[in-house]
Amino acid sequence: MNLLRPEAMALLLRWREAAAAVVVLATGLWLGARGGYVLLPVGAILVLLGAGWGVIALRRLRFSQPVTLPGWVEIDEGQLGYYGPGIGGFISLRDLSEIRLLVLRGVPHWRLKAGDGQALLVPLAAKGAEQLYDAFATLPGIDMARLATAAAARISAQPTVQVLWKRPPTRA
């Protein structure tokens, strides 16, 4: 028997990571307020951990979209796959050379380009697309705040392309 409506449950589940970060932060503040040689440093560490976790949780919230499109994203051992109706494919995160935000017919997509020119379009509103936040975070020189801001921005009906990341050149 569910005591909450499905919409309320979905909202709580969406905010659960941010709520856990607030609990860690509040616990740190409470311990730090007790004072002493042990509780004050432990509380300070918990406050820092909770604050950092909260920033990341809020960015993940801005990055994730409600699932409104068919298809799903899967990440397995550095291999990113998108299974969609009529389109899809795989690309290795190690071979990724560019990430763009592309709007096609009012629908935002991640355009992931490999070093060999191969490209993969992944809708932001596909099931499992929120996993891309953690996958993209492993890329060298990426600005995750910029990516989260671009993903959360209101999309216009006009076709747009925004380059968000390019692999830095490697030194020989």
91 lies in the same domain as 128: yes
Total count of domains within the chain? 2
Residue 65 has pLDDT above 90, yes or no: no
Contact between 113 and 121 (Cβ < 8 Å): no
57 lies in the same domain as 100: no
Residue 2 has pLDDT above 60, yes or no: yes
Confidence band, pLDDT 50/70/90 cuts, at residue 64: confident
pLDDT (0 to 100) of residue 21: 96
State how far the Cα of 113 lies from the Cα of 162, in Å rounded to an integer: 13
State how far the Cα of 61 lies from the Cα of 63, in Å rounded to an integer: 5
Q: Determine, yes or no, domain membership for 1.
A: no
State how far the Cα of 50 lies from the Cα of 18, in Å rounded to an integer: 9
Q: What's the CATH code of the domain at 122? A: 2.30.29
Domain of 151 in residue numbering reads as 72-166
Confidence band, pLDDT 50/70/90 cuts, at residue 172: low
What value does the mean pLDDT take over residues 64-77?
Answer: 84
For 142, phi and psi rounded to 5 degrees? -85, 145
Q: Determine, yes or no, domain membership for 53.
A: yes
What value does the mean pLDDT take over residues 142-169?
Answer: 80
Give the Cα-Cα-Cα angle 139, 121, 54 (nearest 5 degrees): 45
114 lies in the same domain as 144: yes
